[in-house]
Amino acid sequence: MAGLTVGFGEYTHAIVRGVPASLPKDALRMNEANDDVDLARARREHELYVGVLMHKLGLQIVELPVDDSLPDSVFVEDAALVCGDTALITRPGALGRRKETEMVKKALTDLHLNIVEMTDESATLDGGDVLFTGREFFVGLSKRTNQRGAEILADAFKDYAVSTVPIYDALHLKSFCSMAGPGLLVIGSSDGAQKALKVFERLKDHMLIPVPLTQMAKVDGSLSCCSILVNKRHEM
Ligand code: GLY
């Protein structure tokens, strides 16, 4: 197995996008009964989230323009996968989300990353299904991400092994797990998470900065969905 990649978990920039007015009514959601999203509260919580990225984590924020015609566009993570100086622009599994990649691609191009595009029409991949541990990738095979998408990711990041994880009862792999630091995975307690856990290592204690995301959770959003983290330190 390869060693931990240099600079893993260190970032200089976060790409974010504000909450569109169309989110409460039109954002996709697994549970259609979640029809009570409070837009003002969602926006306040998103501002708090961006504030943590900027002031607590010291990241430079790249804020994309809000687009009311793209109700899920606050979830920028699904549109690209950044590792080192390469950005894979995804082909999101939901047809209505494909246009979200345009503005994300522009921002990543402006940050001088090497852009790889997923053009194969049989492939789908949402960034929310991709977990990078610093040594390897895990790709969730979900309603949004298929085997071909995982293969194209493996091709774009040839230095790393890629394993797939079947996703049950959740939108994305990172709906229930995320890296909390080098060699430290955090994972939820739901049945779907526990099934996936069989693929992962044991957990250790970790520090948390609480950030509420109560409204976006109703449309299947989680913390990592709302940013793309980039490390440009080697150029500074
Ligand atoms: N609402 C997030 C998604 O369905 O993609």
More confident position, 68 or 198? 68
3-state class of 46 per DSSP?
Answer: helix
> Residue 236 has what pLDDT?
58
Catalytic residue flag (residue 83): no
Residue ranges of domains in the chain, CATH in brackets: 13-230 (3.75.10.10)
pLDDT at 224 exceeding the cut of 50: yes
Ligand 1 pocket list (CB less than 6 A): 27-29, 72, 75, 94, 171, 219-221
> Residue 130 has what pLDDT?
97
pLDDT band at 4, cuts 50/70/90?
A: confident
> Residue 212 has what pLDDT?
83
Does this model's pTM top 0.95? My answer is no
Residue nearest to atom 3 of ligand 1 (CA): 28
Lowest mean pLDDT, pick from 51-65, 124-138, 178-192, 213-227: 178-192
Mean pLDDT value of segment 224-233: 91
Helix H or strand E segment including 229 = strand 228-230
What is the rounded average pLDDT for all residues in the chain? 91
The rounded Å distance from CA 99 to ligand 1 centre is: 14
Position 58, amino acid: G
Position 230, amino acid: V
Bridge partner residues of 83 (DSSP)? 86
Write out the DSSP string of 90-116: ---SSGGGTTHHHHHHHHHHHTTPEEE
- The model's pLDDT over 28-64, given as tens digits with 9 standing for 90+, comes to 999 999 999 999 999 999 999 999 999 999 999 999 9
CA end-to-end span of the chain: 30
- Check residue 197 and give left, alpha or beta (phi > 0: left; psi -120 to 50: alpha): alpha
Ligand 1 atom with minimal separation from the 128 CA:
5
Residue nearest to atom 5 of ligand 1 (CA): 28
Name the one residue in this structure whose structure tokens are 């080192």: 84
Sign of torsion over alpha carbons 230, 98, 177, 133: negative
